[in-house]
Amino acid sequence: MKKVIVIYGLPASGKSTQAKLLEKKYGWQHFSMGEKLRALIKSGSDIGAKAKDIVENGLLVPDDIILAALGPVAEQAQSTGIVFDGFPRKQEQAQILDKLLADTGTKVSACLLLEVSGETVQKRINSRLSVEARSDDQDSAVVKNRVEVFEQESLPLCAYYEAQNKLYRLDGEKSVEEIFEKICEIVENLYEKSRD
Ligand code: AMP
């Protein structure tokens, strides 16, 4: 079954972990906008050069750059299903995504919000510092920016998906396994509803 799932939440809320598990279990492509941007920056591409300072300061990259970084995600959604991790991050991006998907006859099936506290964010970022070595994890002022940007610009996205009955709030403080179990229940319910 092909589905289009959006996962979002604070930095280190577990988005990528859960997206990877979904990719493995259901065969949907995992698309992480953060990873895509980091790869574009590393490769020295024009888009990467434009995004670099913004990402390193923990701010949102403008939508024209995001659109250029997206690539053929709508086609991927149609052929295998897809899990978006860290995209969309605001209502304008959600609308862009809806338009792209509509062109291939698909739509967002569910939006999963992983809810964690500020202390958990800090603790998890501290523990992944040496493992992932992300430049935007190193400076506490940048982490603070990312949290503020999420609260001010991304959190309102809830209302967009809530109005469409597509929003599912999950307790991101629980274990990876417990969260994934809940997500699978949601997915199974989607199957029930649409049978495709
Ligand atoms: P992430 O790996 O999801 O934590 O994203 C890392 C950084 O990439 C963010 O702090 C933003 O600077 C940028 N970024 C990722 N996704 C988006 C998006 N959908 N819109 C704008 N900027 C983004």
How far is the C-alpha of 29 from the C-alpha of 147, rounded, in Å?
A: 27
Helix, strand and coil percent figures for the chain, each rounded to 5: 60, 15, 25
For a substitution probing ligand 1, which of 33, 146, 157 has the most ligand atoms within 8 Å of its CB? 33
Which ranges of 15-117 does DSSP label H, i.e. alpha helix?
Answer: 15-26, 33-43, 46-56, 63-70, 73-79, 91-103
DSSP H or E segment with residue 137: helix 135-138
Residue 141 near residue 85 (C-beta atoms within 8 A): no
Ligand 1 site, residue 52, Cβ cutoff 6 A: no
pLDDT in 10s for each residue of the chain, 196 residues: 689 999 999 999 999 999 999 999 999 999 999 999 999 999 999 999 999 999 999 999 999 999 999 999 999 999 999 999 999 999 999 999 999 999 999 999 999 999 999 999 999 999 988 888 888 999 999 999 999 999 999 999 999 999 999 999 999 999 999 999 999 999 999 988 775 5
Q: How far is the CA of 55 from the centre of ligand 1 (A)?
A: 7
Residue type, 33: M
For residue 148, the SS3 value is helix
- Please tell me the total number of residues recorded for the chain in this structure: 196
Match 């979002």 to its residue by tokens: 8
For a substitution probing ligand 1, which of 37, 52, 70 has the most ligand atoms within 8 Å of its CB? 37
Taking the CA of residue 89 as reference, the ligand 1 atom at the shortest distance is 19
How far is the C-alpha of 61 from the C-alpha of 57, rounded, in Å?
A: 10
Ligand 1 site, residue 94, Cβ cutoff 6 A: no
**pLDDT score at 96:** 96
How far is the C-alpha of 84 from the C-alpha of 25, rounded, in Å?
A: 15
How far is the C-alpha of 14 from the C-alpha of 19, rounded, in Å?
A: 9
